[in-house]
């Protein structure tokens, strides 16, 4: 299972747009229900920072999120929306409860 966290900060005037684009991704996920995808997005306490966590249980190594039209729309303008560009971090699980299977 691949575990990824992405964190970034948007411009204050881009918060609503970013949230709408994120909601579109979740709406498409609900409709299409790709297997092996566990995904969450959080807005942090400062109101302009966001964190996405993806747990991807895929055999072929292809991230199903990147093929979604809503995800492509979300990523298309991310540079223009951001004050701090996205930073992707691979996560190594030590333990988990209720977040998919554990390999630890």
Give the least confident one: 51-60, 64-73, 94-103: 94-103
What DSSP string describes 22-83? HHHHHHHHHHH--TTEEEEEEE-TTSSEEEEEEEE--SSS--GGGG-HHHHHHHHTHHHHEE
> Rounded to whole angstroms, what are the CA distances from 97 to 94, 100, 103, 104?
11, 8, 12, 11
More confident residue, 20 or 97: 20
Domain parsing of the chain, residue ranges? 2-90
Question: Could you tell me the two tokens for 80?
Answer: 């223009």
More confident residue, 7 or 99: 7
Per the DSSP assignment, residues forming a β-bridge with 4 are 54, 90
What percent of the chain is modeled with pLDDT above 90?
Answer: 77
What is the residue whose two structure tokens read 């918060």?
15
Cβ atoms of 15 and 87 closer than 8 Å: no
Report pLDDT for 61.
73
pLDDT, one tens digit per residue, over 87-103 is 999 999 898 887 755 44
Report pLDDT for 102.
46
CATH 3.30.70.100 fits 2-90, yes or no: yes
Cβ atoms of 53 and 5 closer than 8 Å: yes
CA nearest to 62, candidates 35, 28, 30: 35
pTM above 0.85, yes or no: yes
């Amino acid at each position: 299972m691949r575990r990824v966290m992405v964190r970034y900060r948007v411009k204050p005037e881009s918060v609503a747009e970013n949230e709408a684009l994120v909601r579109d991704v979740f709406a498409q996920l609900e409709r299409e229900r790709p297997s092996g995808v566990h995904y969450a997005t959080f807005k942090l306490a400062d109101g302009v920072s966001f964190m996405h966590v993806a747990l991807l249980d895929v055999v072929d190594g292809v991230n199903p999120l990147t093929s979604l039209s809503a995800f492509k729309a979300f990523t298309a303008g991310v540079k223009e929306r951001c004050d701090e560009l996205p930073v992707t971090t691979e996560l190594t699980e030590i333990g988990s409860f209720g977040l998919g299977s554990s390999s630890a």
